[in-house]
Amino acid sequence: MKKRKIHNCLDGCSVESTLQLISGKWKCVLLYHLIFEVAYRYSELHRFLPCITKRMLSLQLKDLEADKLIQRTVIQEKPIVVSYSVTEYGRTLAPVGIKKFPDLQ
């Protein structure tokens, strides 16, 4: 049996940093929807992912916002509307997705 070689990433490794940002079952899917649209409301994102619980969706959105990949905007109307959009920093992940999945363009 052939032995696998495991590469250790050093502190500050860009691959490791990127994987930490997008790790999670739903983060890549959320970024996929947000990168190619201007903004989505919470309910619209939940509609795209019917299998996700509301709690998990909230947690994943909070993580993406904390990592500055998405921006949460509260529109002070009645009823209050919250929308999510990708930041410029989050948009830097688009070429990775386009290269891996060319039909996304």
> Could you count the other beta carbons within 10 Å of the beta carbon of residue 86?
24
Asked if residue 9 belongs to a domain, the reply is no
> Could you count the other beta carbons within 10 Å of the beta carbon of residue 32?
16
| Domain that residue 29 falls in | 14-104
Distance CA 68, CA 50 (A): 25
pLDDT value of residue 100: 53
> In this predicted model, what pLDDT tens digit does every residue of 65-94 receive, in sequence order?
998 999 999 988 888 889 999 999 988 888
- CATH code of 39's domain: 1.10.10.10
> In this predicted model, what pLDDT tens digit does every residue of 13-54 receive, in sequence order?
777 777 777 777 888 888 888 888 888 999 999 998 889 999
Q: State the total domains in the chain.
A: 1
Asked if residue 57 belongs to a domain, the reply is yes
By residue count, the chain amounts to 105
* pTM for the model: 0.76
Q: How distant is the alpha carbon of residue 91 from its chain centre?
A: 10
User: What's the CA dihedral at 16, 63, 66, 37 to 10 degrees?
Assistant: 100
pLDDT value of residue 56: 95
